[in-house]
Structure 1
Amino acid sequence: MTTFFTADTHFGDHRTINIWRRPFASVAEMNALLIERWNATVAPNDIVWHLGDVARRAADVPDLLAALNGTKHLIRGNNDPDGTLQSAGWASTADYAELVVDEHRLVLCHYPFRSWNGQHRGALNLHGHSHGRLAPMRRQFDVGVDVHDFAPVTLGDLLAKPDRRERGGSPPVRATSS
């Protein structure tokens, strides 16, 4: 069982294609690639922490969750209404979480923090919201799909990237249709 992190999928949201310059001709193409990459990365028994901004319409969330592999936890984003949190398929929902993965203390929130609990004792801040447009701070990682080739990412993947800009501040990777 592996733990993954992701954020800012914005399933069904045409605005995301334009605002964040995602390389998709349509929402259907974006949704299909997001689902494909999620399921190619995450096994059914894996754990996924989604750090917010799941979908345009809360009514779509139960079917999306059923189509995506893994046990899914939600940290609410600014575009997640109550209906998204109440959707069947979440193992848990919260605005904020602290957990330990692979002996690393993690502080999870949709929003990047300037400072966070345990920051000076090695705790890491994982976040979404900025779509790779925020210069990263030490021990802070943007886990949004725009930064990680439209797929969930492991903590090991985040820690292994040698170029600090790639760990949260790089421009989005452009998808290719398969």
Structure 2
Amino acid sequence: MALFFTSDTHFGDHRTLNIHKRPFGSVAEMDAAILANWNAAIAPDDIVWHLGDFCRKASEAAALLARLNGRKHLVRGNNDPDEVAQAQGWESVQDYRELTVRDRLLVLCHYPFRSWNGQHKGALNLHGHSHGRLKPMPRQIDVGVDARDYRPVLIETLLA
């Protein structure tokens, strides 16, 4: 069982093609690529933390979740209404989470922090929201698909 992180998939959202200049000819092409990349990396028993902005239409969230491999957890973003959070397929939903993995504190939120719990003791702030546009800070990592070749990232990659 592997551990992955991702964010800002924005399934079905035409705005991301223009606002964030994603390299896809259509929303359908974008969705297919992100879905294929996800399922190529993630096995059914792997754990995935999605750090917000899952999809455009809440009515499509459950169907999308059913097509994606893994045991999925949501840390809500600014584009995740209650209906997305309540969709069948999430093992947990929260606005903020701290996890300890291999003796390393991970601070998970959709938003990047200026400072975070354990920042000066080696804790990592994993976030999305910025679509790869922020200047990196030490131990702060954008796990959003725009910064990660439109695929989830393995914890070992983040800890390396």
Q: Which runs of 5+ in 2 are unaligned?
A: none
CA distance in 1, matches of 2:50, 2:84: 12
Counterpart of 2:147 in 1: which secondary structure? coil
Match of 2:57 in 1: 57
Match of 2:90 in 1: 90
**Are positions 1:154 and 2:142 aligned together?**
no
- TM-score, L = length of structure 1: 0.88
CA distance in 2, matches of 1:89, 1:155: 22
Match of 2:119 in 1: 119
CA distance in 2, matches of 1:77, 1:16: 15
Equivalent position amino acid for 2:62 in 1: P
Counterpart of 2:30 in 1: which secondary structure? helix
Equivalent position amino acid for 2:84 in 1: T
Deviations 1:112-168 (A, max 9, x none): 0000011111111000000000001100000000111100001221233xxxxxxxx
Equivalent position amino acid for 2:11 in 1: F
| C-alpha RMSD over aligned residues | 0.7
Deviations 1:83-132 (A, max 9, x none): 00000000000000000122211000000000001111111100000000
Counterpart of 1:55 in 2: which secondary structure? coil
CA distance in 2, matches of 1:98, 1:116: 10
Structure 1 residues 69-78 or 146-155, which shifts more?
146-155
**Are positions 1:81 and 2:70 aligned together?**
no
Match of 1:26 in 2: 26
Deviations 1:22-57 (A, max 9, x none): 011111000000100000000110000000000001
- TM-score, L = length of structure 2: 0.98
Counterpart of 1:53 in 2: which secondary structure? coil
Equivalent position amino acid for 2:150 in 1: F
The sequence identity of aligned pairs, in percent, is 67
CA distance in 2, matches of 1:81, 1:106: 24
Counterpart of 2:125 in 1: which secondary structure? strand
CA distance in 1, matches of 2:41, 2:135: 26
Q: Figure out how many residues of one structure are paired with residues of the other and give that number.
A: 160
Runs of 4+ in 1 over 4 A off after TM superposition: none
Match of 1:37 in 2: 37
